[in-house]
Amino acid sequence: MQSRAVPLEEGKEPSVINRTNQSKTPQLRLLRILVPFLALCVTFSVVSMFTIRYFGINGVPTTVKSTFQPCYEEPRSLEQWIRPPLNLIHTMTDKELLWRASFVPRIKKYPFQRVPKIAFMFLTKGPLPLAPIWERFLKGHEELYSIYVHSLPSFQADFLPSSVFYRRQIPSQVSEWGRMSMCDAERRLLANALLDISNEWFILLSESCIPLYNFSVIRHYLMKSQYSYMGAFDDPGKFGRGRYNESMAPEVNITQWRKGSQWFEVNRKLAISIVEDTMFYLKFERFCRPACYVDEHYFPTMLTILAGNLLANRSITWVDWSRGGPHPATFGRSDITEQFFKRILEGHNCTYNDRSSSICFLFARKFAPSALEPLLQLSPKVLGF
């Protein structure tokens, strides 16, 4: 059988021809893929141009608007630094809160028109039965005060949106009378109130307190005062020095030991002194426990040591201890008369800005819920609001 001969191109070996044919094969495959793809792209472009011309540019979404919102907005103006918190509920621990509240500007003159306010701080277990008397007292002075309420954590307030107490509760913890937890609650109130840079005076109140004058009189009295009001006296008896523990020395010695009512009225300078304290706090927490009632000794002693010259050394919250016992008298419906208020408001003499004064009390306690109705009836005539 005769084999068939394939003529070769002149000057080429068989192996060279095979390699050339193999190299052309991938190029042809790539070309077959690219041609349809380019045709598809051209078709899509033509369709898009036709759609834009026919339906208008707004009919085609050319951009996607971002819905991302930053978690933290960096302050860019002074207003963002001085604006009080819009929501009193926060997640700060007490340690973080006290640290934040202790911030003090080094430059004393404010670079804006600051209107000083009064912070009314209510330390309660739950409801505020005398809220209507406070609503009337505060009406018309919305830019001149702030309200803060510390109640039991389990209490849910139901104030109407129109109330001055609406959403004014701060994050709270359980506090016990005579224990450091009571002072913790008071410091918590002060710290939250200090976050509003316009608050200048800080008034600690209970649910049984009432104002004794109208708002203008009380504000003028406080704003013009050179001193803060906290009772701090040296009681040599067993309920005074008798509660002192020698382990408190050298930070506190017995001659510096003071006693006073827990209800106080302090200016911003002393409020900061209270929240920034760590040294005296530890001493009182460890060595002043029942029958040493820390809420009667901690603040009076500490402030006497740190800033005794700034204290009037008296309280401007009236109470009646004449009935005896561990707690002052409570007054109900039958007690509320014009004669009763004359006894509170008249016949007193005290020192105000180093001068004699007959106005010695701005607030009073303790009033039962049953006292509300007669209080509302008499307040325009007797209290001036």
Each domain of the chain, given as residue ranges in start order, spans 81-104+112-315, 316-384
CB 298 within 8 Å of CB 288: yes
Report the relative pairing of strands 265-267 and 199-205 from DSSP bridges: antiparallel
- DSSP, collapsed to helix, strand or coil, labels residue 369 as helix
The rounded Cα 46 to chain-centroid distance in angstroms is: 62
Kindly report the number of other CB atoms within 10 A of residue 51's CB atom. Answer: 13
Nearest of 236, 231, 284 to residue 262 by alpha carbon: 231
The CA–CA distances, whole Å, from 322 to 265, 319, 360 equal 23, 9, 18
* CA–CA separation, 44 and 64 (whole Å): 21
66-75 as b/e: b if 16+ CB within 10 A: eeeeeeeeee
Q: With 70 as the cut, is the pLDDT of residue 11 above it?
A: no
Q: Give phi and psi for 96, each to the nearest 5.
A: -65, -40
Q: With 80 as the cut, is the pLDDT of residue 289 above it?
A: yes
> So what's the pLDDT on residue 256?
98
Q: Cis before residue 291, ω within 30 degrees of 0? A: yes
Cα angle 31, 33, 39 (rounded to 5 degrees) comes to 95
Q: With 90 as the cut, is the pLDDT of residue 31 above it?
A: no
Mean pLDDT of 66-81: 66
pLDDT digits (tens, 9 = 90+) for 131-190: 999 999 999 999 999 999 999 999 999 999 999 999 999 999 999 989 999 999 999 999
Report the relative pairing of strands 363-364 and 210-211 from DSSP bridges: antiparallel
Q: In terms of residues, how long is the chain?
A: 385
> So what's the pLDDT on residue 262?
92
328-357 as b/e: b if 16+ CB within 10 A: beebeeeebeeeebeebbeeeeeebeeeee
* CA–CA separation, 255 and 235 (whole Å): 10
> Encoding tokens for residue 15?
């192996």
* CA–CA separation, 93 and 97 (whole Å): 6
pLDDT band at 86 (very low <50, low <70, confident <90, very high): confident
Q: State the virtual CA torsion across 49, 55, 56, 57 in degrees, nearest 10.
A: -60
> Encoding tokens for residue 73?
């907005």
Q: With 60 as the cut, is the pLDDT of residue 245 above it?
A: yes
pLDDT band at 79 (very low <50, low <70, confident <90, very high): confident
Higher per-residue pLDDT: 24 or 93:
93
* CA–CA separation, 344 and 174 (whole Å): 33
> So what's the pLDDT on residue 17?
42
> So what's the pLDDT on residue 63?
45
Q: With 50 as the cut, is the pLDDT of residue 15 above it?
A: no
The rounded Cα 149 to chain-centroid distance in angstroms is: 10
pLDDT band at 25 (very low <50, low <70, confident <90, very high): low
CATH class of 81-104+112-315: alpha beta
> So what's the pLDDT on residue 4?
43
